Structure 1
């Protein structure tokens, strides 16, 4: 399987996750997450697994072997995740961190994968010490780290880019955004009279908005999948996830004249207990503990390791100046769209699907949908994601931009996207007690019930 096939598989898994979360946890609410971040964490877990647990992980990730996963991840880390901001492109940073109990050394083979493939920095800690509970301050739900914790894997994905063609903020006006329940709310819409990359299909339209590109070959863009029907998002997500390669075959490539053109300005915060979603999709063995994670630590205690939780948190802001880098490059197999008229309307005034992708490879970094536009996202999620970025990027020294955390901010000139993914490993012989803390409904307050 080459890189393109691996990316197609990764996209298929991402759309499966999106469909499931939309139909369950995020029904009638907003969603944004990084399937790539979750994919990398699961791949790292697979590198330390064997037997039926490994087989189940490979099957879920649509991969044939750990070598294939490692090859894919190595390409991502070295090529896709390289920071393009010095060359004039989007700022993109990705980092992995491993926190390991001081009593359990990593197996040399697993450490080699951690160090060389995933470029993850590892740190020995004492999980028996109560002070360790502040290891990743303000990031984890209370009670997530206790004396039974033996390993924590964390990664953070940061993206910040400017639109190739910025919107004129003076032309942003409030219009109705129609909700699934038939009501509507007033939200700010951005507009432009310039040509847009749009394709029309049976029942939906697709818009591609490019980011300013750098001097490398990567081309980032944000794509909007807009159903014709105001309540058509669930059916559209079902269609997009129905067959492998559907996404690639329905991306727009030709700029056309637009008639009425409006897309909303929005912010979304999202927190997901990914472990629960994965278990409902059939990935259960890594979480059940059956001696399947024995390839991680060089100790007989490795027989008792299992994954207790995987937490995922994301934040996205889209405004007049900020959005991604898009489809000015060659396309893979493109499905012929319906005949494009002289002008085409694209008015995203009802729930839609969006994603951020790198077009040269086809990697999907972020995916989400907008059900209820709310300019006041969950403040706790953004704070926690910032905390993880500070912890992983700063304390572990995984990247060479020491100003990254300080320069991460939300304003009216950029689009900023951040995702974090954290997984925990505990001993099977200790009772599993999960306190969701910040994931309680009373604390989420808006937008999401996870």
Structure 2
């Protein structure tokens, strides 16, 4: 089982750099994405795809070429992560739900996979009553993300032709094992660009405090790992140069690759930040070679319902939220998919990690990266 889980973790963590690269092509500011939220709902969709439609999606998601392996891995990972719900100092909630048109019949096999593998519930809904339907879906998402994700889906994208809406919602709240004291937080300069400097609230640690750090010559960056209750941690990747973010992002695969950390005395200054972000996964997947699932002529989702050509995917949106402060981290994500008709380390010595310019971060639980992003504007 451990090997099966490892495959899904690796698939998720490999999917992330591909997604990150696509997002930064279009966006200049803060970004935040949840690879796990997207990977989960897309893997569920994949289980209902057939032929080349399934193969294109499988390759983009880095999934193994064996449906049984995928299902075993997903079930094992979701079961393992769900154990964190009751962990003191850490709360992780992952939920999947299918909204099905009131008179539309989902195939029994897909319904079984959704329920037994993805722990997904289902609800029949009248999409023609689009305002009410959107309110129903959004209220569920708000509830499971502690009101952090609002208005995931707009009523305009729902109509009488909508057959199925697949939604994944993910909420995480974790306390730092070594908290930052509020009294140490201070105003400091943050260099957004060569010519723009702003004042931000930055968290500072106690003197002579040890943290896990990695000095990467390859990335020309320092990595700081802060442990969170519940076998979780957050990693901050700070370029050595104030204008080094673009160079760091050009090696994004290696940024998210496992690194070797060592514990030493570190002086930390880290800005507080909140990010809300929306990602259009439809465009991202197209750029990653997924085309058939969006095509009137080629989409084969017959494992979900009907025959080839009866269903296609026309929208995959994700909304994310993260709050990094003295107490810890709070984050949430929701992804909806609409289906209508047609190595590093140095000798141990005191280090400084002064995050006074743009950086990358990622949040992981049991080696699974569940959120990642960058901070160019640390507003709080």
Which residue of structure 2 aligns with residue 198 of structure 1?
A: 213
Which residue of the partner structure matches residue 143 of structure 2? none
Question: How far is the alpha carbon of 1:67 from its aligned partner?
Answer: 1.9
How many angstroms apart in 1 are the aligned matches of 2:264 and 2:50? Answer: 52
Q: Measured at CA, do residues 89 and 279 of structure 1 come closer, stay the same or move farther in structure 2, by a change above 3 Å?
A: same
The structure with more strand, counted as a fraction of residues: 2
1:263 match: secondary structure: strand
Taking structure 1 as the reference length, the TM-score comes to 0.74
In the aligned structure 1, how far is the partner of 2:299 from the partner of 2:24?
33
Cα-to-partner distance string for 1:375-407 (whole Å, 9 max, x where unaligned): 2xxxxxxxxxxxxxxxxxxxxxxxxxxxxxxxx
Distance 1:133 1:9, change over 3 A: closer
Residue 83 (structure 2) pairs with residue 82 (structure 1): yes
Secondary structure in 1 aligned to 2:256? Answer: helix
Q: Does 1:210 align with 2:219?
A: no
Deviations 1:277-331 (A, max 9, x none): 221222121111324111102x45x63210110110010001111149xxxxxxx
CA offset digits 1:86-114 (Å, max 9, x no partner): 34240111100100112221111111101
Residue number in structure 2 paired with 1:13: 15
Alpha-carbon distance change, 316 to 157 in structure 1, aligned in 2, over 3 angstroms? same
Tell me if structure 1 keeps the 8 A contact 2:128–2:158.
no
- Give the number of aligned pairs: 347
Is the Cα–Cα contact under 8 Å of residues 19 and 241 in structure 1 kept in the other structure? no
How far did residue 144 of structure 1 move? Answer: 1.2
**1:108-123 correspondence to structure 2 within 5 Å:** 108-123=108-123
Partner residue, 1:230: 242
Gaps of 5+ in 2: 139-150, 331-342
Residue 146 of structure 2 is aligned to residue 144 of structure 1? no
Question: Displacement of 1:47 after TM fit?
Answer: 0.6
Q: Retained in 1: the 8 A contact 2:134–2:153?
A: no
Determine the C-alpha separation between the residues in 1 that align with 2:69 and 2:249.
28
Matched, 1:344 2:344: no
In structure 1, the residue matched to 2:256 is 247
- Mind listing any 5+ residue stretches in structure 1 that lack a counterpart? 214-218, 325-334, 376-450
Is 2:288 the partner of 1:281?
A: yes
Contact 1:208 1:251 in 2 (8 A): no
| TM-score, structure 2 normalization | 0.87
Alpha-carbon distance change, 181 to 144 in structure 1, aligned in 2, over 3 angstroms: farther
RMSD: 1.8
CA contact (8 A) 2:186 2:201 kept: yes
Matched-pair contact (CA < 8 Å) for 1:70–1:117: yes
Q: Is the 8 A contact 2:4 2:72 kept in 1?
A: no
